[in-house]
């Protein structure tokens, strides 16, 4: 998939599939799949590093993971998240973060929210860097939002999100993530924009879907939000194979002669 395909897919009514990817070995699997594009999301702070929010992600951490994913998925379009505050520090420092992630090999960058970001988005897009917007539940503002919850339910929030979506398209974003918003709102935004929307917890009316890879593979059985579909019971599956290996070792079933050097 190339940058031009995002609009073309929307025009053709072809939905876009996206998953998060944080490391080299899962990147190789996703690269071999039909998934359209990857997101090196700052959710890696939670999923890979065990933090309670995405706030712990830094530009250098994002760059390290982006490099690993880029090397494993050379055939995919890869978006990397600009982490917490990395694009709110003044133009020169913002551009250093952007440069670091693009030099790590990302094809595009994602940032959260419209307010205060529009001039930067115009500048970054004019500098040759595709930008993906992200509105609705914006995890970097979790302490201001008061928790991980559905956004855009009140009439005021609803119209504010429609307004932000239009502003992000006008500023030059090539696509827009809509996270945890009512399906009616996601549908209205998607129908008003010519750039594709990619939803997570936003219903069927968006132009594509994104899920966290480990969530869709059932690696975190405690995490069961309404919007999530798990395609594998990954946690138990892997645990059972580890137990099988443990039993083989402790019962002298591994290694056999075939698995040993003579
Ligand atoms: O960081 C992330 O994983 C994201 C997705 C939830 C869209 O931003």
Note whether 203 and 226 are within 8 A (CB).
no
Distance 212 CA to ligand 1 centre (A): 7
- The structure's pTM equals 0.97
C-beta of 19 in contact with ligand 1 (< 6 A): no
Cα separation, 82 vs 72, whole angstroms: 20
pLDDT in tens, 28-66: 999 999 999 999 999 999 999 999 999 999 999 999 999
pLDDT band at 14 (very low <50, low <70, confident <90, very high): very high
Distance 250 CA to ligand 1 centre (A): 41
Cα separation, 24 vs 112, whole angstroms: 25
C-beta of 78 in contact with ligand 1 (< 6 A): no
Note whether 65 and 101 are within 8 A (CB).
no
Q: Average pLDDT in the 86-98 region?
A: 98
Torsion sign over Cα 100, 105, 106, 108: positive
Residue numbers annotated as active site: 179
Q: Residue 39's CB: how many other CB atoms inside 10 A? A: 30
DSSP H helix total and E strand total for the chain: 11, 8
C-beta of 200 in contact with ligand 1 (< 6 A): yes
């Amino acid at each position: 998939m190339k940058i031009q395909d995002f609009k073309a897919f929307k025009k053709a009514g072809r939905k876009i599939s996206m998953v998060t990817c944080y490391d080299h070995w899962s990147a190789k699997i996703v690269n071999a799949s039909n998934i359209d594009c990857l997101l090196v999301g700052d959710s890696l702070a939670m999923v890979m590093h065990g933090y309670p929010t995405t706030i712990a992600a830094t530009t250098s951490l994002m760059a390290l993971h982006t490099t690993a994913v880029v090397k494993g998925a050379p055939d995919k379009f890869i978006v990397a998240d600009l982490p917490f505050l990395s694009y709110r520090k003044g133009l020169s420092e913002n551009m250093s973060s952007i440069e670091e992630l693009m030099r790590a090999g990302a094809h595009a960058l994602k940032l959260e929210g419209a307010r205060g970001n529009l001039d930067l988005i115009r500048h970054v897009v004019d500098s040759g860097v595709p930008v993906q917007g992200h509105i609705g539940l914006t995890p970097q503002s979790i302490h201001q939002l008061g928790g991980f919850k559905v956004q855009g339910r009140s009439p005021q929030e609803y119209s504010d999100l429609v307004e932000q979506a239009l502003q992000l398209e006008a500023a030059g974003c090539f696509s827009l993530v809509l996270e945890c918003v009512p399906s009616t709102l996601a549908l209205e935004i998607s129908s008003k924009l010519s750039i594709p929307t990619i939803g997570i917890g936003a219903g069927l009316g968006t132009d594509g879907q994104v899920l966290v890879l480990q969530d869709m593979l059932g690696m975190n059985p405690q995490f069961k939000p309404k919007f999530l579909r798990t395609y594998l019971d990954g946690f138990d599956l892997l645990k059972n194979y580890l137990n099988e290996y443990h039993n083989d070792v402790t019962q002298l079933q591994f290694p056999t002669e075939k698995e040993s050097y003579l």
